[in-house]
Amino acid sequence: MRRLRNVKIVATLGPASNDYEMIRALAEAGADVFRLNMSHGEHEEIRVRHEIIRKVETDLGRPIAILADLQGPKLRVGKFSSGAHDLEEGDKLRLDLDPTPGDSKRVQLPHPEIFAALRPGANLLVNDGKIRLQVEDCGEDFANCVVIVGGTISDRKGVNVPDVLLPLAALSDKDRKDLEFTCELGVDWVALSFVQRPEDMVEAKQLVNGRAAVLAKIEKPSAVENFDDILAASDGIMVARGDLGVELPVHAVPPIQKRLIRKCRAAAKPVIVATQMLESMIESPMPTRAEVSDVATAIYEGADAIMLSAESAAGNYPIEAVTTMHNVAMEVENDDTYRSIIDASRSASKDTVADAIVSAAREIAETTNVKAIVCYSESGTTASLTARERPHVPIIAMTSRRKTARKLCLYWGMHCVITGEVERFKMAVVNAARAARTAGFATEKDMIVVTAGIPFNQPGSTNILRVAPCDERLIFNTDPE
């Protein structure tokens, strides 16, 4: 199960990927992280999927990360008396709190929080942005709008409010229940939807209380504006391009994606690029050339992970979709241009001893014939700093904590190994050499770089680097106690 690529693949589970055989096949095809979409499925169904993933993990002998993606508050119009109405440019439409079924002139918008924040001139997007309304007049329980872009409006269509910071918590009542359920279940990552401000992440992390890492989904313009503070409050980021492309001009999304990826790398926090990456593969065994180029672009930009949504959850070709992502990643990462881009975008951050150690490890690996960098990392911090360096050689993360090993499955280039606690540095080097040989990264004739913290088993104490042989006899003869 050794991966020959660095970027990770996140596969969403659903009706098309619900049993042991399919989930194992997806892992063997290249999935490193499985996403549980809390917008779909009852808790018992989610529990069964979680148990299957853990069985696959045991059977394959490789840590697998599980990501629970919370739904977030859903903003929708009410129902119509005759099901659907066509709106044309220049038409007037009133939104209000009246639950009476709507018509072509008015409809319920059962969200007083939206009316409280609206102002004349604000835009409202309906049905994934297909319909655009502009507010002409508004109050605490109504908004009179003019249709800027027409279309067919029908029951319960979603509403986006791109111009306004809404006084809505990112966590709905459903999200709070789902969050507690998934944390008790033992997921490794929780993704928070509808993030607008860093306080949203602070609240979520307080509720999680260290039971999982928390990732912010960037899908609103306010999240882009507040990104630096949101990143500081998060353990990772998902660039959720679906809603982002609805609420912002579509041509604005690519540069935002590139900018956010670079900021995440500088902060040593993983970033997932998501939404519509291989969407045609929901119904086709082959992707479009544009989709392949999109996946490749995210990899060239240095993303830690790329994600499949409906392609693996509900599509007809889930294994083919994972295989396609894997093949694209292999081709890109073997391209000389990829390495030059990755090296050029490295930030020179050496503020701490750990920063200096991982930077030195990468430089040694680039200037010698070292075959791998092996880092001991109890909390995952040193491993994340090593991933930020994007070294030319494989990274092996050694940890005694299964929870840490699973979390690190989302990070670029990380090969995670669960090891027993060690008390002496000599045994740490021996274990590192064994792991490098067992995984096929090195032979007894090769050298590796080992980083660790003395004393052992204390998070955040990385302070030692050793270039060591993979031959245990040489280690015992030459290494200090």
Q: Where are the domains of the chain?
A: 8-72+169-335, 84-160, 353-478
Region of residue 260 (phi > 0: left; psi between -120 and 50: alpha; otherwise: beta): alpha
The residue behind tokens 């679906």 is 242
CATH architecture group of domain 84-160: Beta Barrel (2.40)
What's the pTM? 0.94
How far apart, in Å, are the Cα atoms of 85 and each of 103, 149, 153, 281?
7, 14, 5, 32
Mean pLDDT of 30-38: 98
Mean per-residue pLDDT for 202-209?
98
Q: Which residues are catalytic?
A: 35, 76, 217, 275
**Residue 251 CB: number of other CB atoms within 10 A?**
8
Task: Kindly report, residue by residue over 38-62, the tens digit of the pLDDT.
Answer: 999 899 999 999 999 999 999 999 9
- The token pair at 468 is 């060591």
The mean of the pLDDT values for the chain is 94
**Structure letter (DSSP) for residue 380:** S
Strands 131-139 and 123-126, by their bridges, are antiparallel
| Amino acid making up residue 185 | L
**63, 404 contact by CB (below 8 A):** no
Tens-digit pLDDT profile for residues 248-287 = 999 999 999 999 999 999 999 999 999 999 999 999 999 9
At the top level of CATH, the class of 8-72+169-335 is alpha beta
Predicted local confidence at residue 185, as pLDDT? 98
Q: For Cα atoms 147, 149, 154, give the angle at the middle one, nearest 5 degrees.
A: 75
**Which of these CATH numbers, 3.40.1380.20, 3.40.50.1000, 3.40.50.1370, 3.40.50.300, describes 353-478?**
3.40.1380.20
Taking every pair of C-alpha atoms in the chain, what is the biggest distance, in angstroms? Answer: 85
